[in-house]
Each structure stands twice: as C-alpha cells, then as structure tokens.
Amino acid sequence: MTALSIVIPCYNEADCIDELHRRVSAVAQAQAGSDYELVLINDGSKDTTWAAMQRIAASDPQLVAINLSRNHGHQLALTAGLDLCRGAHILILDADLQDSPELLPEMLAAMHAEEADVVYAVRRARAGESAAKKATAALFYRLLAALTDTSIPLDTGDFRLMSRRALDTFLSLPEQARFIRGMVAWIGYKQIPFAYDRDARYAGETHYPFTRMLRLALDAITGFSTTPLRFASHAGLALTGISLLLLVYIVAGWLAGNTVAGWTSMMFVIVGIGAAQMFVLGMIGEYLGRLYMEAKGRPLYIVSEVLGTARSGTRLGHRGDELASGVQHRDQ
C-alpha cells in the first residue's frame, strides 16, 4: 500500500496545474519520499487540463490521472479519486491552491498525536473571496447545523486528511447525492479540527456560482435532515386549522349577506394558502426527487481512462476501460 494519496478534483484548472503539481510534489516527497501518489481527476474540463495531466503523467511516475467522461461535479469527481486511490493516508485538496498543501506535515502530526482518523481543516479566514460568498457560506453552515442531526463541523470544506479505515467506511456509503464533508462527519471515529487561513485562488475563477452552492446546500440539508419535511407537515397542519376557522368566518359572512365586501381578505387567503401549498409540495418534491435518483442506482461517475497505477475494481463507479473498449469496437 502506498503511504500517502493526495486526491485533487480539477475542472478547468489548466492555469493552476503546473504550480499545483510543483507544490504538492515537493510536500509529498518531503513527507513520504517516493511512497506517495498524486491522484488528479479531470472532471470534464473544457480547457487544456487533461492535456496538462497527460504531459505531467508522462514524466512523473507518482501521478495517477483520471479522466471522467464528462463534468460530474466536484463531489462526484472527488468520489472517483477517493475510490481509486491506494494510500494509507489520504489528503483531499482543491486544485486552485486555496488550501495550502504545505499544511500536510502539521495535519499528519496532529492525526498521529491524537490518534485521529480524520483531521478536517477549519477556515479561520478566507482571502480573495467575495463578501457575498463568505456571508452565504457562513449562513449555510449555521443553517445546516440547526437542521441536521449529524454534527457537521462549521466552516469546513472538503480539505481534510483521512486514514484508510475512515476512507473505506466512507466509500461504503452508497448514496447518489453526495455531500462529502457531511458523510465523513457521519461515519464517526475520532475527527479533529485543524484551523487554517484560506488563500485566494492561484488562478481562474470559482466554479461554485450561487446556483451550484444552492444545489450543494439542498443536497446537504435533504441528505442529512428530515426536519424540513416535518416542518412542512407542521405548517400544513397549522394552515388547515386556520382555514377551518376562516371557513366559519366566511359562512357567517355569507349568512349575514355581505360576501362581496370580503373580496380582499379572500384573495389574501387564496394567495397565502396557495403559497403554503406550493412550499410544502416543493419540500416533498425535493425528497421524492432524491428517492427517485437513489432508486435508479446508477454508477456515480464514469471513468474513461486512467494513467498510472490506480486501485482496480471500484464499488461505486463504472470503470471505463470496458466502456472505452466497447466504444472502440463500435468505431471499428
């Protein structure tokens, strides 16, 4: 088994990749000699990221480069890398160098000193990110904490160090809508925080615009909590009570012969209840959608090729070798 795996999902990171390779390799070599692997996942980039990975793989035997068949999103790209990596210790990193790889020795030391299975990095400060992003992130982590039963640490991204035992347990969770930091918190074992300051991106723009953040937030909340579902039924119950009272009022008004005068309040009620119903339906739809996605039981990602030596036989993903050769046959 390799001592150390560093797993990095990359989407349109062509400008970062050489600097990333240089800094991560230096840290890994100092830590583990040549007993490490650098696992880069190309998540269907539209730029030259894959070409850069191929170029690096040609000269660096430590590199494992995984090319997904299309963009699967950060969480699934990361899952592909985690599935295929072989290390006894696994560091999850972003490609943009916002999370400094040089923190690895300290994180490893903390892991050994406290005999922990997970060392998760908690952001003390975040450089180079907009006030709106920081505010929505802060709000999201607090809302999540209020709604979920699993205690998911605040201000923690996917930057973390894991033991093989923790990773294998994590990989046994089969769900499709993956909120990795929550799932890692859920598995338990000893998990310790590690405070750090988040840097600005080395190059390029964030790939988490508001809509993607919202998607992640919904996956997180519906994946780890049924509180919104319960809230929906409570609200529905309360509204039923109120509308029964209103019905009495409306009938009394009709008996007294002044129905037209109540138009404004009627409209108010119609709109109010309509909105409440839509909200409740929306929440139910959210869970139903999840059930539907899970029930399909599709592989989480498709690998189209792997350079270097990676772990074979994945439980969650579809190993693309057969698929790729299948495609070739059809072409011939």
Q: What residues line the site for ligand UDP (CB under 6 A)?
A: 9-11, 13, 43, 71, 73-74, 77, 94-96, 98, 206-208
Tell me the one-letter amino acid at 51: A
Query: Which of 13, 83, 96, 155 is in the footprint of Mg ion by CB under 5 A?
Result: 96
Instruction: Kindly state the smallest distance separating residue 283's Cβ from ligand UDP, in Å.
Output: 26
Q: Are strands 303-307 and 156-163 parallel, antiparallel or unpaired?
A: unpaired
Residue 65 contacts which entry, Mg ion, ligand UDP, none (Cβ below 5-8 A, type-dependent) = none
Residue 73 contacts which entry, ligand UDP, Mg ion, none (Cβ below 5-8 A, type-dependent) = ligand UDP
Angle of helix 17-32 relative to helix 49-59, nearest 10 degrees, comes to 40
3-state secondary structure of 297: coil
Gap between the Cα atoms of 284 and 295, Å rounded: 16
Q: Among residues 54 and 206, whose Cβ is nearest to Mg ion?
A: 206
Instruction: Kindly state the smallest distance separating residue 129's Cβ from ligand UDP, in Å.
Output: 7
Q: Among residues 14 and 166, whose Cβ is nearest to Mg ion?
A: 14
Number of Cβ within 10 Å of residue 25's Cβ equals 18
- What contacts 109, CB < 8 A, 6 or more positions away? none
Query: Which of 45, 98, 304, 314 is in the footprint of Mg ion by CB under 5 A?
Result: 98
Instruction: Kindly state the smallest distance separating residue 62's Cβ from ligand UDP, in Å.
Output: 19
Give the interface segment with Mg ion, choosing from 33-41, 91-99, 142-150, 277-285 (CB under 5 A). Answer: 91-99
Q: Among residues 92 and 303, whose Cβ is nearest to Mg ion?
A: 92
3-state secondary structure of 184: helix
Residue 10 contacts which entry, ligand UDP, Mg ion, none (Cβ below 5-8 A, type-dependent) = ligand UDP
Gap between the Cα atoms of 161 and 91, Å rounded: 4
Which residue in this structure is represented by tokens 């890994």? 28
Token digits of residue 112: 């050994």
Instruction: Kindly state the smallest distance separating residue 132's Cβ from ligand UDP, in Å.
Output: 12
Tell me the one-letter amino acid at 171: L
φ/ψ of 116, rounded to 5, equals: -90, 160
Q: Among residues 198 and 232, whose Cβ is nearest to ligand UDP?
A: 198
Instruction: Kindly state the smallest distance separating residue 202's Cβ from ligand UDP, in Å.
Output: 10
For 227, the enclosing helix (H) or strand (E) is helix 227-256
DSSP E strand stretches across 60-173: 63-68, 89-92, 118-126, 156-163
Tell me the one-letter amino acid at 6: I
Residue 77 contacts which entry, ligand UDP, Mg ion, none (Cβ below 5-8 A, type-dependent) = ligand UDP
Token digits of residue 170: 């994590």
Instruction: Kindly state the smallest distance separating residue 113's Cβ from ligand UDP, in Å.
Output: 29
Q: Nearest 10 degrees: CA dihedral of 218, 220, 223, 226?
A: -70
Gap between the Cα atoms of 87 and 81, Å rounded: 11
Q: Among residues 13 and 37, whose Cβ is nearest to Mg ion?
A: 13
Q: Among residues 117 and 317, whose Cβ is nearest to ligand UDP?
A: 317
Q: Among residues 37 and 94, whose Cβ is nearest to Mg ion?
A: 94
Q: Among residues 54 and 206, whose Cβ is nearest to ligand UDP?
A: 206
Residue 83 contacts which entry, ligand UDP, Mg ion, none (Cβ below 5-8 A, type-dependent) = none
Go through the chain and tell me how many residues it has.
332
Q: Give, in degrees to the nearest 5, the angle at Cα 216 between 210 and 220.
A: 140
Instruction: Kindly state the smallest distance separating residue 207's Cβ from ligand UDP, in Å.
Output: 3
Instruction: Kindly state the smallest distance separating residue 227's Cβ from Mg ion, in Å.
Output: 29
Interface residues toward Mg ion, by CB under 5 A: 94, 96, 98
